[in-house]
Structure 1
């Protein structure tokens, strides 16, 4: 997109902050990849900055890679429909989670459990793999510089904002 328009439009910002599957990835200087599940997402009001909320313990490799390369990719996927988007940035940095971030994580956990429960997954199982103490949660903030539709089908891989 242009400097005047963020890559993320209002509909995508809303989608990203729902109870959907959230994953992040990075790579080290040696290009060895790392991946982790995120526990929430906060899109800034101007839609130019994204904060991915993660367990520092469970995301240790990604955090190490972000600290050394500042690269981050984030994937947002709706399990029942496979509607999926990917954002990439090269200025990622780790921040402390705020009280507002922790509230986002609590809402996200409940929303994601409801999403997967409709597909037959037991809530206890989902809460189990989303669990971590609040003191372990950190934010990884980045400015998306590229975005892509990754929904299976003819538009998979199409840049966000591109005309078909």
Structure 2
């Protein structure tokens, strides 16, 4: 008798929110638990939510990348700017790699989505493009399988673990 596969951490609604391209802040910590964080310039999620890749600028994220390489720990907060609907995912093992030309369409798709998302709260396209500007050869992809997920939407449930989907 084989064990049933684990239930997904994220609901289809959370997966869809992350997949459409919303604000993503990536964090880690060093061995002394000192935090590091940076805004992502891109994000992607597997259709079943089992794997997430976030993209950061190497030149702006040195400490974050050092901490992830040393500890493997990562936490990412995904938030819709207009509604503040927010989910946080965590993992204890993340892999780093240089972004390649194959990642470029995904990064462009993320930028277009963020132009819309941030535009909904009153910021124009030039602002968003400046905020998410990158040179592809400076981008690092961070891939992980989330092991914990939390509702971080402001309100009474903020900080509570998400029920398995």
TM-score when normalising by structure 1: 0.91
Structure 2 equivalent of residue 71 of structure 1: 73
Q: Which moved more, 1:71-80 or 1:11-20?
A: 11-20
Match of 1:133 in 2: 135
The within-5 A match list for 1:1-164 is: 3-161=5-163
* Matches of 2:140 and 2:164, distance apart in 1: 33
| Alpha-carbon separation, structure 2, partners of 1:44 and 1:98 | 18
How many matched pairs?
A: 162
Deviation at 1:158, TM superposition (A): 1.5
CA–CA separation in structure 2 for the residues paired with 1:102 and 1:30: 35
8 A Cα contact 2:24 2:77, kept in partner? yes
Name the SS for the 1:52 alignment partner: strand
Runs (5+) with no aligned partner, structure 2:
none
Of the structure 1 ranges 128-137 and 7-16, higher mean CA displacement relative to structure 2 is found in 7-16
TM-score, with normalisation over the residues of structure 2?
0.91
What's the secondary structure of 2:27's corresponding residue?
strand
* CA–CA distance in structure 2, aligned partners of residues 58 and 138 of structure 1: 11
Once residues 154 and 10 of structure 1 are traced to their aligned partners in structure 2, the CA distance between those partners, rounded to angstroms, is 22
Alignment root-mean-square deviation, CA: 1.7
Alignment gaps of 5+ in structure 1: none
